[in-house]
Each structure stands twice: as structure tokens, then as C-alpha cells.
Amino acid sequence: MKAAIFKGPGAVEVGERPEPVIQEPTDAVVRVVLGCVCGSDLWYFRGESPHAAGSIGHEFIGIVEQAGANVRSVRLGDLVVAPFIYSDMTCPHCRNGSTISCPAGGSFGNGTIDGGQGQAVRVPQAGGTLVRVPGSGHSDEVLRSLLALSDVMSTGQHAAVMAGVKEGDTVAVVGDGAVGLCAVLAARRLGAERVIALSRNPARQKVASEFGATDIIEARGDEAVQAVLELTGGTGADAALECVGTGQSIATAAAIARPGSVIGIVGVPHGEVPFTGTFFRNIGWRGGPAPARVYIPGLLDDVLDGTINPGLVFDYETDLDHIADAYRAMDERRAIKSLVRVGGI
């Protein structure tokens, strides 16, 4: 089969991989319909973090093509959404909602198992992992939104849930990447009355507004902090959602959060977390890699009934043969997020 192959920094090529087959009775093989490129894929593409050479990509939707004897929750022919981490959903961590810590779990496209940027994927723990999409004949718009549940929308949701966003809150979102934009959507979905998005990019501002942002702040750093404080009468946001992970974005989130609030942090922290300062203001930090599997069923219902449309984050698309273009569009910041059309439904 064809698949995107990582050969080293800057080098993502289309290559051949063996067709995946069932290896364990808990496996399924999914024929990929749509895949996409994640902001985190850019780390190794840019050579900023190491990654095994080979098949890549951890976000996909597709059709179940083979299922092991112990896979009961999905059937051949089902359209499914794959969370970016597989997990058994039966261990104590999964039962606690912390699927990313499942001892039987793992990630796609990490050098040992195929990724979602290819024609098919063997999914371990498929019964726990895959979420079946009910109905048929879904529009392309719906399919794009379902693909967004695989990672970015679930991650934005995680930021909002971890920060405890509730009805009537004023929420500030740091980061206008696909995750930050989805965090805007998630905050509104959880009832936030006011969502302040920090963005200087007109295309991203537009999506933020479509996702329900009530205020857009174009400033950065201290100037952005002052602007959020002014918008909140000097109090700060009821919830700050940190969706970047740099030192500056973390510092901004800490400064705009009101005393007693929780910062939902989903940007992998590459900068210092100013813990002592937030401690004395009773500001907490919660987050991490999203347990997407936990969020997908609820988000999926909202996609199917048209309440949310996270697929709007895909503003570039191509096919598997042009996967390198999908990476370059994001690397060069021409795209928020690149969608890759792989197979028919």
C-alpha cells in the first residue's frame, strides 16, 4: 500500500508499506478515508525533535476492513474515528478517563506501527479504541469535522474541560493554531459567554469568530495581557487555555488567568511554567495529551447534528501522492491544518 514515509528532517515522501494484517485478536485494520498533518508532526519534520523513520501520521478516519475475533464494538464496513492514541478502555487508567496512560496503549505512526497518513492502518485494541460513526451518506463537511475529532478538536476540548469552563464564563485562548481554534469552539460548547482569542492572523481570526470567539486580541506578550485584563475589568479570565507551549504563551496564560482559576494546558510545555507565581494567586494547571477517546462520542454527536463544525480548521487539502505539500503548507504557515484525501468511503 501507499503511505507517507518520514526519511529525515524535511523529507516526507510517498512510499510503499506492506498491507497491514491482523496480528492479535484485538486488532482491526482500517482503510483510511481521510488523514491529516498535525502541528506536532512539524517538530520532527523541522528536525526539532527526533522521530523514527517510517510510516507517520496519527489522525485518521476510515472504514473497518478486517477485525480480529475479539473486536466486538465495530464491524467490517463501519466508518470509524481513530483517536490519536489507542487504548483498551478496560484498565484502571482508561476507566478513570486517562486513556493516554493505558499500559496496553500506544501511538500511531511512531516507527513500529503504521500511521494515519497511509492507505491502511492496523489498530491495536480496536474494540476500545475505534469509535463507530452511525448513519451513512455523510457529507464531505461532516467527514472533515469527524477527522478533526481524532486529535485537534479533542485536544481543544481537553483544554476547556481541564480548565473547568462552565456556563457564563469568560475564557481566554492563547494560541491560534488548529488546537487553539478548537479550544474556542469547545469553550463555547461548554457554555462560555465570552471567549477571547489571541490572534494576529486574519485567516485564523476568521475561523475563531466562526467558532464563537466574542473578542479578538491582536497583541502579544504584555500588551495582550493588558488587553485581556481591560476586557475583564482587571479581574482576568475565568479560564485561560494554553494551546501553544512556548515560554511566552505559558507566561501569557499565567498572567491573564484570574486568581483561583485553572489554566487548561495542552501545548507541550517547552518553556518554564511560572509555578510559584501562580501558586500565590491560587491558579492551577491541568492538562496534557488529550484522552481523545473519551471525548469523541460526545463531540461526534454534535458534529452529526450540525452543532459544531471543527473541520473548518482544514484550510489546505491534497491527496496522499502530494503529502509533502501538506507538510510544506503548514511548515511555511500557509495553512492552519492540511487535510489529506486518501481513499473513498
| Residue ranges that bind a second copy, judged by CB under 8 A | 92-93, 96-98, 100-101, 162, 233, 235, 238, 258-262, 265, 268-269, 273, 275-276, 278-289, 291
Least distance (Å) from a second copy to the CB of residue 311? 26
| Separation between Cα atoms, residue 122 and residue 27, nearest integer Å | 7
Looking at the Cβ atoms of 282 and 307, the one nearer to a second copy is: 282
Looking at the Cβ atoms of 23 and 96, the one nearer to a second copy is: 96
Least distance (Å) from a second copy to the CB of residue 185? 21
Least distance (Å) from a second copy to the CB of residue 281? 6
Looking at the Cβ atoms of 295 and 327, the one nearer to a second copy is: 295
| Separation between Cα atoms, residue 329 and residue 334, nearest integer Å | 5
Least distance (Å) from a second copy to the CB of residue 337? 23
Is 107:58 a contact under the CB 8 Å cutoff? yes
Which runs of consecutive H residues, i.e. helices, occur in the chain? 41-45, 92-95, 126-129, 140-149, 152-162, 178-189, 202-210, 221-231, 247-256, 275-279, 292-304, 323-331
Looking at the Cβ atoms of 235 and 307, the one nearer to a second copy is: 235
Q: In terms of DSSP bridges, do strands 237-242 and 257-265 run parallel, antiparallel, or are they unpaired?
A: parallel
Least distance (Å) from a second copy to the CB of residue 261? 8
Least distance (Å) from a second copy to the CB of residue 155? 12
Looking at the Cβ atoms of 164 and 343, the one nearer to a second copy is: 164
Least distance (Å) from a second copy to the CB of residue 157? 14
Write phi, then psi, for 249 (nearest 5 degrees): -70, -35
Q: In terms of DSSP bridges, do strands 54-55 and 2-8 run parallel, antiparallel, or are they unpaired?
A: antiparallel
Q: DSSP of 275-295, one letter per residue?
A: HHHHHTTT-EEEE-S--HHHH
Handedness of CA 252, 256, 260, 263 (dihedral sign): negative
Looking at the Cβ atoms of 17 and 286, the one nearer to a second copy is: 286
Residue keyed to cell 507538510: 327
Looking at the Cβ atoms of 100 and 217, the one nearer to a second copy is: 100
| Separation between Cα atoms, residue 229 and residue 209, nearest integer Å | 20
Q: 282: which residues sit within 8 A by CB, 6+ positions away?
A: 259, 260
